[in-house]
Amino acid sequence: MKEFTLTAPMEFRQEIKRSRFIALAEPVESVEQAMKFFEVKSDATARHNCWAYKVGRDYRFNDDGEPSGTAGKPILAAIEYAELTNVAVLVIRWFGGIKLGTGGLARAYGGSASSCLNLAEKTEIKPTCICRLEMPFALTGLVHQLIGDERIVKLSEVFNAEGICLRLQVEASFFADFERDVRNATGGQFEVSLVNA
């Protein structure tokens, strides 16, 4: 089953019965990144900073003082309805003096999050693997040709007495082809080895 996330941060603003709502959505790769996003983007001048995230199968939400289930849960529902993962959504509310009721709050928070996510551009999350490739200095040019593919991301490059050591992130569906290309290019002398992330 394909998974999708956002390609870039998105923002949506609306006013409901004099309360101002700003929904902020951002792609994230970890729970820590989601929590940092909430910490940085929350507005201390607002009455409520409610949020939800979904990272892989992990999710969490927070009502930040709103009645239980009226803010964080509808935000999470918007994420799930949009069939997204690796995303964090913060909805900030400045109270306008008119109570919305529990149903109105749920619609306002969920609707703000949903509108924000509907505006955002999505991208497919492709499974990757982490691998290690070591070669002598003489093959440095060849190495850089091999890793020039957009399906490969160089995570680190270390030079030592023996040559070059690369740590790479490779799309899982492309790994077998990459492994074969390395073997063919080096006459079978060097291989790519999978490592734990």
| Structural domain total, the chain | 2
pLDDT band at residue 154 using 50, 70 and 90 as cut-offs: confident
pLDDT over 60 at 197, yes or no? no
Please check whether residues 21 and 34 belong to one and the same domain. Answer: yes
Mean pLDDT computed over 7-14: 97
54 and 70 in a common domain: yes
Claim to verify: residue 80 and residue 37 sit in the same structural domain? yes
What digits encode the pLDDT tens for the residues 20-71?
999 999 999 899 999 999 999 999 999 999 999 999 889 999 999 999 999 9
**Cα→Cα distances 195→3, 30, 77, 127, 131, Å:** 24, 20, 36, 15, 5
Query: Hunting for tokens 């490592």 — which residue is that?
Result: 195
Q: Which CATH number is 151's domain given?
A: 3.30.70.240
Cα 108 from Cα 87, distance rounded (Å): 20
* 141 and 82 within one domain: no
- Output the pLDDT for position 181: 86
Q: Are residues 137 and 108 in the same domain?
A: no
State the DSSP H helix or E strand holding residue 160, giving kind and residue range, or none if neither. Answer: strand 152-160
Q: What separation, in Å, do the N-terminal and C-terminal C-alpha atoms of the chain show?
A: 22
Q: How confident is the model at residue 196 (pLDDT cuts 50, 70, 90)?
A: low
As a whole number of angstroms, the distance between CA 27 and CA 79 comes to 12
- Are residues 81 and 137 both part of a single domain? no
pLDDT band (50, 70, 90) for residue 90: very high
On whether both 87 and 171 belong to a single domain, the answer is no
% residues pLDDT > 70 (the chain): 98
* Predicted confidence (pLDDT) per residue in 92-106, tens digit: 999 999 999 999 999
Q: What is the residue range of 103's domain?
A: 3-124
Q: What is the pTM of this model?
A: 0.72
Is 146 found in the same domain as 119? Answer: no
- At which of 83, 109, 124 does a domain end? 124
β-strands 193-195, 128-135 pairing? antiparallel
Range of weakest confidence among 6-10, 12-16, 54-58, 182-186? 182-186
